[in-house]
Structure 1
Amino acid sequence: MNRRAVLRGAAAACTLGAAGCLERLGFEEESAWANPPLVEDRPDAVYLPAGAEEMGAYGTASEGDYALELSYTFPHRFWIPGQGGSRVDVDADDSMHLMVTVWDVDTETVLPVDVSLELRQGGEPVDGVPAAPWPMLSQRMGFHYGDNVRLPGEGQYTLGARVGPVDAVRTGAFEGRLNEAATLEVDFAFERSDIHDLEFTFVDEDRRGERDALPLMDHGEHDSDDHDDDDVGPPPSSQGPPVDDLPGDPLGTERSADAKISAVETGLERFGDDSYLAVLPRTPYNDVVLPFTSLTATVERDGSTAFEDSLSETLDHEFGHHYGAAIDPLEAGDEVTVSVDAPPQVSRHDGYETAFFDFEDVTFTIE
């Protein structure tokens, strides 16, 4: 019997206490690590999955401008980038789903950045953790890096993570920073019981597949004894700042491929001598940023094209993660069209895997 069958039969008996519950029912880990139910008739949009997995944290580390948290949950299914892309299913040999969140210490901003990992035990490298984890979107975790991993057994490990540099344009408090890579290490003890004791909370059957999302988790929810060794605290949310609070003139918010796409014109000097167009694509419901996306903006004025160019992925201390370009000041009657040339190049967990692919252009008319 696999975990899917167990979930159906044991829902009344357990929250699901995952393998902890399964072991009480007489099942071994091999059956626990099967995929949870997948919602049928999923919309081409963000939707409520079958349930939510509890997570734990192994600890944090910091070096220079970078901070990192290492967290974990059950091994679980995810989809790698690409519409209808390959689904990665759980293998019986998977030990856990390991997750890394990287952020800037000064601005407390989650970073889209290159991440490579090395796992060591007793000072010696061990296999089991992919060298390059996937950038991922999860309804509970938001934007992070992760993968299912296989460890040789219980015991003490050290995860070394090389993070950086940041390729995105950096403005404001980010300017001149995050140009170099750093290596951060987290020591942790892997015990199967930690994974087994996590809970899986079901979404009501009549709500599964609804166009909605699970709430973002508060990273303070999960405990880690290792946090005491580092003063950076838990990671910030990957939720973008409220668009209405941004300095400038909001052009509006449109929906495409179920992403919210907002645009703001600002005249802040740090963006250049002209006006600056900031475009902010985000998830609906939770406003999580959508990194590694390619966008183009076009400004039509009096029947001719006044501007057409790609937008640069940018980090700013007020605008957060966004895409932008310097433009001539907009005038009444201008039409600003945003095209998504390539969707977010991130893997997706349940609830996001059918959204953010078939983008149609969105247009904002200046009044």
Structure 2
Amino acid sequence: MNRRAFLGGTAGTGALAVAGCLERLGFEEESAWSNPPLVEDRPDAVYLPAGMEEMGSYGGASDGSLAVALSYTIPHRFWTVAGETERVDVETDDSMHLMATVWDAETDTVLPVNVGLELLRDGESVGGQLSPWPMLSQRMGFHYGDNVSLPEEGAYTARVRVGALEVRGTGAFANWTGASTLEVDFEFERSDIHDLEFDLIDENRRGDPEALSLMEHGAGDDHEDASGGDHGPGHPPTSDGPPIEDLPGDRIGTERSGDAKISAIATDADRLAGDGAYLVVCPRTPYNDVSLPFASLSVTVERDDATVLEDEPLTESLDHAFGHHYGTGIDGLESGAEITIAVDLPPQVARHDGYETAFFDFEDVSFTV
């Protein structure tokens, strides 16, 4: 169903008919949005939400090494995580939920960077400098987004300022200097937002331990295109990490904690380990393998009843082969060693429905080399 049909089912067909008449008479509606149903008795884990929203594309831009794609969907609630968790509900003047995905064009890797956004109308700033939230959603994966308000329909420019990596870069990202300002022109029409589909999930499945599939970008995906011209660099890559079984090194194991999958790998890659061993730890979502950024992890290593390393912080990193991970060099990572991984601070990213109750209450996980 589209958003208008959804509102008709929740607010009553009479109210919907009146709103439609007012629009045809030239009156602007005060607000067409309401939060979709929220699953009752939500688990402290990843769960299947009540519905799925279609997304549209405004295209993108690239400077050759860095690329950005601009997407939009219906305004909706989300939860911010910045020490404390806070629910953000839809405001009456919200025009859309605007999303930006930033990636490295050479390696096709989604980047955890500092992102700033400014919306321009006829060259003039609308709403000043914006700081979209780093976010996790089941369909989009990792991205930056927020509900935004635009004063009127028409042509706009999104000026996206991409700062430095917010994690350590290794390998192809060791000297990453992709910081740039990119602009995406788009045409805002309220009908584009109103006509997006909202599919309700069967009530008997809502809240199940499951996740919606990551959106596959490209031909046949569920992006409506409203860019009105040049599509820029094309659709962004998905933000799932490289398959654990394909990563180089010795796979130590995978455990579940806080409903995240936490995998540990040992490698002797010179760029990471120098003359010793390097421990790679990959915390990811349990169904779509999306990396969980902006957390704090530490490791304790014991061998032969002695503590070799205690509460050693793991450095959040981005590598062309291992992708996003947390790691540290360890001397003597030998057979029989006991490794304990602790999540000291959960991922400080905003979450959409289905992720807002997961990735908080972590218990330590242990592996034997």
TM-score (norm 2): 0.90
How big is the shift at 1:269? 1.4
Matched residue, 1:52: 52
Residue matched to 2:206: 208
The amino acid across from 1:322 in the alignment is H
The CA deviation at 1:332 is: 2.2
Cα–Cα, structure 1 residues 49 and 202, in superposed 2: closer, same or farther, change >3 Å?
same
Q: Distance in 2 between matches of 1:161 and 1:21?
A: 39
CA contact (8 A) 1:20 1:196 kept: no
- Verify the 8 A CA contact 2:186 2:226 in the aligned structure 1: no
- Listed one character per residue, the Cα deviations across residues 183-212 of structure 1 (whole Å, up to 9, x for unaligned) are 000011100000011000111110000010
Match of 2:287, SS?
Answer: coil
| Percent identity for Structure 1 against Structure 2 | 63
1:98-153 alpha-carbon deviations (Å, 9 max, x no partner): 000000111100000000111111111111x7611100000000000000000001
**Which residue does the alignment assign to 2:120?**
120
**Aligned with 2:90: secondary structure?**
coil
CA contact (8 A) 2:56 2:72 kept: yes
Given that 1:60 and 1:227 are in contact with CA atoms closer than 8 Å, whether structure 2 keeps it comes out as no
8 Å contact from structure 1 (residues 96, 148) kept in 2: yes
- Structure 1 residue aligned with 2:319, among 309, 316, 319? 316
- Report SS of the residue matched to 1:195: helix
Aligned to 1:88: 88
CA distance in 1, matches of 2:140, 2:16: 23
Question: Counterpart amino acid of 2:267?
Answer: T
Instruction: Choose which of 178, 197, 200 in structure 2 pairs with 1:199.
Output: 197
| Pair 1:7–1:139, CA change in 2 (3 A) | farther
Change over 3 Å in CA distance of 1:49–1:230 after alignment to 2 = closer
Q: For 1:26 and 1:228, locate their aligned partners in 2 and report how far apart those are by CA, in whole Å.
A: 32
Distance in 1 between the 2:17 and 2:301 partners?
58
Which is further off, 231-240 or 273-282? 231-240
Deviation at 1:176, TM superposition (A): 1.3
Cα deviation code 1:6-35 (max 9, x no counterpart): 44578xx9xxxxx99996799985563110
Deviation at 1:283, TM superposition (A): 0.3
Choose the corresponding residue for 1:289, options 278, 291, 295: 291
Larger deviation, residues 143-152 vs 325-334: 325-334
Residue identity in the other structure for 2:168: V
Amino acid at match of 1:300: E
Q: Secondary structure at the match of 1:193?
A: helix
Q: Partner of 2:139 in structure 1?
A: 140
CA contact (8 A) 1:251 1:265 kept: yes
Change in 2 beyond 3 A, CA 1:85/1:121: same
Contact 1:95 1:149 in 2 (8 A): yes
Question: Whole-Å Cα distance in 1 between the matches of residues 323 and 18 of structure 2?
Answer: 43
Offset at residue 181 of structure 1 (A): 2.3
What amino acid does structure 2 have at the position aligned with 1:294?
S
Q: Which runs of 4+ in 1 moved over 2 A?
A: 2-10, 19-32, 223-232
Stretches of structure 2 lacking an aligned partner (at least 5 in a row):
none
Q: Is the 8 A contact 2:295 2:345 kept in 1?
A: yes
- Which one is further off, 230-239 or 314-323? 230-239
Matched residue, 2:249:
248
Structure 2 CA distance for aligned equivalents of residues 199 and 39 of structure 1: 19
* 3-state secondary structure, aligned to 2:92: coil
> Which range moved further: 108-117 or 269-278?
269-278
- How big is each residue's C-alpha offset from its partner over 1:233-268, in whole Å with a ceiling of 9 and x where there is no partner? 210010001101111111111111101000000111
AA of the residue aligned to 2:92: A
More strand by share: 2
Structure 1 residues not aligned, in runs of 5+: 14-18
1:77 and 2:86 equivalent? no
Could you say what the CA RMSD is over the residues aligned between the two structures, in angstroms? Answer: 2.5
The separation in 1 between residues aligned to 2:356 and 2:29, in whole angstroms, is 27
Structure 1 Cα separation of the partners of residues 11 and 226 of structure 2: 35
1:261 corresponds to = 262
The CA deviation at 1:301 is 1.1
Normalised to the residue count of structure 1, the TM-score between the two structures is 0.91
Q: Report if the CA contact (8 A) 1:130-1:147 is conserved.
A: no
For 1:353, the equivalent position in structure 2 comes to 356
Distance, in Å, in 2 between the alignment partners of 1:108 and 1:306 is 38
Question: How far apart in 2 are the matches of 1:227 and 1:219?
Answer: 18
Q: Which residue identity does 1:306 align to in structure 2? A: V
